[in-house]
Copies of this chain bind each other. A is one copy, B any other.
Amino acid sequence: MKIAEIPATNLDAKEFIRKRAREIAETVGDGSAITAVSGGVDSSVVTMLGHMGLGDKLKACFIDNGLMRQDEPQAVARIFRRLGIHVEVLDARKAFFDALKGIRDPEEKREAITQTFYKKVFGSLFKGIGARFLLQGTILTDVEETVAGVKRQHNVLEQLGIDPQEAFGYRVIEPLLQLRKDGVRKVAKALGLPVTVYKRMPFPGPALAARVVGEASPERIELVRKATAIVEAELRGSKAFQYMAILHEDRFAGMRDGKRDFGMQIEIRCWRSIDARTAKPVWLAPRTLQSLARRLTADVPGVVSVTYNIATKPPSTMEAV
């Protein structure tokens, strides 16, 4: 089934909100629903719509999969507390790292995260609560890229022929399916979400696991988490669409204290883009690049080399794996 796009320019945000909140209420009826908040604009908007439609019948969870950025679970819960919505942080780190152990192929990593998320963690959560619906923030670009085979988005299920009711025991509601990122941002603003949410950078479903080449072990995730904190602190003022740190698996010659030190490389990407379909690198100032390289080699243990991505999407993609 072809999804009818609602372009951001044609979007009446207030009307969209009213309509979707009502639809959610009608679909869920007397039951209850769960939403997984990630801190991203898509899931935040869905949580707000769900809250409007369902009130206390919506349970908002933040699944701490161990792959999130520094202090992210607490920061997200704090934002929603201010909006009057309680977000419960569930510690699922062990389940995810167990599932990711020894996996190096990017598609297998994504699949391990999808399965752990929908089947293991959510499966038992739904059973515990007796909820029958999952609200999630899938957008049109996610579906298109997954169906086209560019990138398997973790939240795309039915379009791949997966029946969540049958596979996981609950139904999925996707109120943002007709929007792209710019449309979602417009709705977020109209919902009164803080600017830190509706202007928040896109962050991938597999989180920091998408930012390491090769195995996403707890140790490697910790390294890329440190690098991500540095890159985000340095580039916060850049007005870029998205910026990130990627930990490579290749090793490179380096030297410390006059001795050979065969170490790691961090790649930085900083994109200009409107809707994520195409993107170009931002040409950062030399002093910014200098500062990034200095901090990453000084503060991330074992890093001897830092690069900046200069290709465009296409033929690159915005995320590395």
What total of chain A residues lie within 8 Å of the partner, measured CB to CB? 50
Chain B residue nearest to A258 in the complex (CB): B148
Which residues of B sit under 8 angstroms from A319, Cβ to Cβ? 253
* Cα–Cα distance between A304 and B320 once the two chains are bound (Å): 11
Bound CA–CA A256/B150 (angstroms) = 9
**Which residues of B lie under 8 Å from residue A148 when comparing CB positions?**
258-260
Instruction: Answer whether residue A248 sits at the interface, using C-beta atoms and an 8 A cutoff.
Output: yes
Is B150's CB under 8 angstroms from A321's CB? Answer: no
CB of A254 within 8 A of chain B?
A: yes
Do A311 and B320 touch (CB < 8 A)? no
Centre residue among A149, A253, A297, A309 by max chain B CB count within 10 A = A253
A315 and B259 within 8 A (CB): no
CB of A64 closer than 8 Å to a CB of B: no
Q: Which of B261, B292, B320 contacts A315 (CB 8 A)?
A: B261
Bound together, the chains give a CA A319 to CA B262 distance in angstroms of: 12
Residues of B within 8 A of A253 (CB): 106, 151, 316-317, 319-321
Q: Which of A262-297 contact B (CB under 8 A)?
A: 262-263, 267-268, 281, 283, 286, 289-290, 292-294, 297
Task: Kindly list the 5 A-B residue pairs having the minimum CB-CB distance in the complex, ordered from nearest.
Answer: A307-B307, A283-B286, A253-B317, A306-B311, A213-B250
